[in-house]
A and B are shown apart, each in its own frame.
Chain A
Amino acid sequence: MRYARFIIVILALSLVASVLLAGQVHVRWGGRSVQVPRTADGRLELLPVLHLLGADAGFSHSAGTWGVVLGDHQVQFTPGSRWVLMDGELKKLDEAPVSTPSGVAASERFLEQAILEPFGFHLEHEPGGLRIAEGAAYLSPILVVPVAADFGSTTTVVLTLGRKERVEVEDRDGAVVVHFPEAEPQLDESRRVASARITSIGVHGRDLVIRLSEGAGLLGSHVLDDPPRVSLDLGPKARPAPASASPPQLRATVHPIVLDPGHGGGDTGARSPSGLEEKTLVLAIARRVARILRGRGFPTRLTREGDTGRALADRTAFANRLEARVFVSLHANASRFSSARGAETYYMSLKDEATDEHAAATARLENASGERSGGHDGLDLILWQMAQAEVLNESSRLALAIQRRLNGLEGVPDRGVKQAPFVVLTGATMPAVLVEVGFLSNPTEARRLATAEYQEQLATAIADGIVAFLKHQ
């Protein structure tokens, strides 16, 4: 009887303990460990983990971001945003962290991508919790079988993967790098790749590097399924614009203006009642804008030169890689209101832009984090502010400069400058706008948009706006 009572007491205590610890996970690093609360949706509170690592973490109300410093490394991130600044490099992660009453919480994936990997750690599951281990996580090898074929002016390279795996394709100077964030590529050495545009293919860590011949460059890339493969289009690298016969009014820099003709390939965009497609119209206008700008001494690049599709994020990344002076995405509009007409220009607004209520909440968080960490004025996140607030201010000026010129065209009602979070503008590190030149859904305006004369007027107005902005930059 005495033993039975003892067992009941033990069971009751276990039950109470399990209820209390249900929302927590045991995280271990070195010889120390902490109980880390989990939110209802499974996210981990980050601050206990950061304190365990000895990292200095603080929230900046002025930037609306968290900053984490450990040794020589800095990471900055914003609740609600997938963009993270890692040692000055802006990266888009798979998931976003969220604000919590006690700080900030994120998924294990985010913790690993944003915090642990930059600081040289990785996360391992172990019975009863998680363990932070030093060094890179184990990467499972993946077989890559390369095939290449030359088709006159272009070369297609197909990399067939042993399984479906996330990849990132990057066009570096003289090479195309296929990065495997979560796997270690192993090249099938039995295949010889013969192409006039490829000098070698090799593996360096998580990168598969395709070195290109002189004058060759990456035109486009696609990740495909069944079987999992990466298709790369190579071709002649775009040549620099010929020098203008007349001296330019402004000194041109080596950094180009990047124009982005929207849509392309299978993505036709809007369509007029007579069948004019947005992708065709905006490419024609973009070519005209480019010709005008080059004629004035401004190197200009297009994100697509022909009727090819390109991922939205890749268009901005293209401009970032070229360190473009401005990024202008060109579109034609459509509305179910057939009377809708006119041009409008958008620039980016942050999805996690502070509302009044949000500002108050972040102020409370800032105060709380200041109390916890003793404040971190040195982490006012200058880089982050440059990447967000300053670029937004510049983008609004660029949008206004272009919209004013478009308003000057005869018969074009002013729909104004507007602000919204556009995918194609996300992550741009330079002033970036999206111009809607007119409505293809309006039969009258669509007929006008189809004429070369009106396209030239629009192109001149857009080019004038860009140059006016650069002149006063």
Chain B
Amino acid sequence: MRARVVLLVLLGAAAAVLLLWALLGPTSRVPQSGPEPAPLPTPTPAPKRQAVLLYPGSDGLLHPEIVPLSLPDEQENRVRVLVSRLLQPSPAGRPPVAPYPAMLTDVFVREGKIAYVDFTAPENPLAGCGNEVPFVYAVVDTILLNCPDLRAVQLLFGDREVETLTGHLDLSGPLPLNKRLIAPS
């Protein structure tokens, strides 16, 4: 009889402990002391490097400007940084490379060699070789000068491959570096 009472008391105590644990939940548990968790790695900003950016001038040539830029090692991000900068006025005051208010919509690299750069399409038809050639090659040459692993660049407009922008340049495929359009320094 006495043993049964002791058993009942023990069972009751165990039930009370369980009830308390269930009510207070795991948050109230005292954290166990131990080693401090390692801090999460914070992203390291890409190092600033001297990038060569090419901006068209009124002579139709591409004028190099040295600009310190945070250039990531990863190709697509590097191309994105370069082209985004080209769509802004140059440090020397030259206008953005695009002859219309273009926005960069996508960048992707195939086989580690060919970069595809997608811009918003112009709302109104563009005219003039003097608008098309400097714009296209400012983008192509800037990318290829700053991304030595890339071999060619194809420009897309409105997520589409186009034969030409103003009826002059053949844009249906990737373009290699064209140093002949870069102004002599």
B-contacting residues of A (Cβ < 8 Å)?
A: 39-41, 80-82, 96, 98, 262-263, 267-271, 278, 312, 331, 333-337, 339-340, 344, 346, 349, 351-355, 357-358, 361, 415, 418-424, 426, 434, 436, 439-441
Write out, one digit per residue, whether chain B residues 48-64 have a CB within 8 A of any chain A CB (1) or not (0).
Answer: 00000000111110000
Which one of B13-21, B66-74, B173-181 is at the A interface? Answer: B173-181
With A41-B110, A353-B176, A423-B163 in contact, is A333–B169 under 8 Å at CB? no
List CB contacts (< 8 Å) of B110-143 with chain A: 110-111, 127-131, 133, 137
Chain A residues whose C-beta falls within 8 Å of the C-beta of B169 in the assembled complex: 420-423
CA distance A345 to B164 in the complex (A): 19
A334 x B173 contact (CB < 8 A): no
| B151, CB-defined interface residue at 8 Å | yes
The answer, among B58, B131, B172, B181, for a CB contact under 8 Å with A420, is B181
B83: shortest Cβ distance to chain A, in Å? Answer: 19
CA distance A263 to B137 in the complex (A): 23
CA distance A415 to B129 in the complex (A): 13
CA distance A267 to B168 in the complex (A): 12
A441 x B176 contact (CB < 8 A): no
B82: shortest Cβ distance to chain A, in Å? Answer: 18
CA distance A423 to B58 in the complex (A): 24
Give 15 A-B pairs besides A418-B181, A420-B169 with Cβ atoms closer than 8 angstroms: A82-B172, A268-B127, A312-B164, A331-B168, A335-B130, A340-B59, A351-B176, A418-B133, A419-B180, A420-B137, A420-B178, A420-B181, A422-B168, A422-B170, A423-B167
B110 x A331 contact (CB < 8 A): no
CA distance A436 to B60 in the complex (A): 12
Chain B binding site: helix, strand, loop or mixed by DSSP? Answer: loop
Chain B residues whose C-beta falls within 8 Å of the C-beta of A441 in the assembled complex: 128, 130
Chain A binding site: helix, strand, loop or mixed by DSSP? Answer: loop
With A270-B127, A333-B129 in contact, is A421–B167 under 8 Å at CB? no
Chain B residues whose C-beta falls within 8 Å of the C-beta of A331 in the assembled complex: 129, 168
A80 x B130 contact (CB < 8 A): no
B174 x A80 contact (CB < 8 A): yes
* Candidate in A278, A352, A361 with the most chain B CB atoms within 10 angstroms: A352
B99 x A336 contact (CB < 8 A): yes
With A336-B99, A340-B60 in contact, is A439–B130 under 8 Å at CB? yes
CA distance A39 to B172 in the complex (A): 21
CA distance A268 to B126 in the complex (A): 11
With A334-B130, A335-B130, A439-B130 in contact, is A269–B167 under 8 Å at CB? yes
CA distance A331 to B111 in the complex (A): 38
| Closest residue of A by beta carbon distance from B168 | A422
Between A and B, 18 residue pairs with Cβ closer than 8 Å are: A39-B111, A40-B111, A267-B167, A269-B167, A271-B127, A334-B127, A335-B128, A351-B175, A352-B173, A355-B144, A355-B176, A357-B148, A357-B151, A420-B169, A422-B169, A424-B168, A436-B130, A441-B130
CA distance A204 to B8 in the complex (A): 106
CA distance A346 to B169 in the complex (A): 11
| Closest residue of A by beta carbon distance from B176 | A355
| B152, CB-defined interface residue at 8 Å | yes
Chain A residues whose C-beta falls within 8 Å of the C-beta of B148 in the assembled complex: 357
Chain A residues whose C-beta falls within 8 Å of the C-beta of B173 in the assembled complex: 80-82, 96, 351-352
B84: shortest Cβ distance to chain A, in Å? Answer: 20
* Candidate in B60, B168, B176 with the most chain A CB atoms within 10 angstroms: B168
CA distance A268 to B167 in the complex (A): 11
| List of 5 A-B pairs having minimum Cβ-Cβ separation, nearest first | A334-B128, A335-B130, A337-B58, A270-B127, A423-B170
A252: shortest Cβ distance to chain B, in Å? Answer: 31
CA distance A289 to B174 in the complex (A): 35
| Closest residue of A by beta carbon distance from B179 | A355
A278 x B99 contact (CB < 8 A): no
A340 x B167 contact (CB < 8 A): no
A278 x B127 contact (CB < 8 A): yes
B114: shortest Cβ distance to chain A, in Å? Answer: 8
Chain B residues whose C-beta falls within 8 Å of the C-beta of A418 in the assembled complex: 60, 133, 180-181
CA distance A120 to B3 in the complex (A): 101
Chain B residues whose C-beta falls within 8 Å of the C-beta of A81 in the assembled complex: 173
CA distance A88 to B128 in the complex (A): 35
A423: shortest Cβ distance to chain B, in Å? Answer: 4
A339 x B60 contact (CB < 8 A): no
CA distance A126 to B164 in the complex (A): 38
A103: shortest Cβ distance to chain B, in Å? Answer: 14
